[in-house]
């Protein structure tokens, strides 16, 4: 059963804490992406990775960090430097980074208490 999984589904964070969101895919895709969605808005790109051990900043990378040590995994860390982290976070993947269809995971809702 191929697809993209994200965990946890819901995450609560106290101010000043770092938290890590998990994204795993078994589609054998080279490229992976992290987006943030706020109410009534479109998705905005945080980071993306076209190949293992390489990643690039998207439009709103400040306060976030990522790693890509394995092809199937692309975890996102929301650091205490992110001023307004409460949002819905979506992970996606595509065959490669060139003009291919993107497929999305079910999302993680992060709330800062």
Binding-site ranges for another protein (CB under 8 A): 4, 6, 31, 33, 35, 40-45, 48, 50, 58, 88, 90, 92, 97-99, 101-107, 109
Distance of closest approach, residue 99 Cβ to another protein, in angstroms: 4
CB 47 within 8 A of CB 111: no
Nearer to another protein, 78 or 90 (CB): 90
Closest CB 19 distance from another protein, rounded Å: 19
31 vs 66 by CB, closer to another protein: 31
What is the smallest separation between the CB atom of 21 and another protein, expressed in angstroms? 13
Antiparallel, parallel or unpaired: β 76-78 and 10-13? unpaired
β-bridge pairing 19-25 and 31-37: unpaired
Torsion, Cα of 94, 20, 46, 67 (10° steps): -60
**Minimum CB separation from another protein for residue 71, in Å?**
17
* Angle (CA) 73 52 31, round 5°: 70
């Amino acid at each position: 059963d191929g697809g993209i999984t994200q965990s946890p589904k819901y995450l609560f964070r106290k101010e000043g804490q770092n938290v890590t969101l998990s994204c795993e895919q078994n589609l054998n895709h080279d490229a992976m992406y992290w987006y943030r969605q706020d109410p009534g808005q479109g998705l905005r790109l945080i980071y993306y990775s076209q190949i293992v051990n390489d990643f690039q900043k998207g439009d709103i990378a400040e306060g976030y960090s990522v790693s890509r040590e394995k092809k199937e995994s692309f975890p996102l860390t929301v650091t205490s430097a992110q001023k307004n982290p409460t949002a819905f976070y979506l992970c996606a993947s595509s065959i490669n980074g060139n003009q291919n269809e993107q497929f999305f995971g079910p999302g993680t809702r992060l709330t800062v208490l």
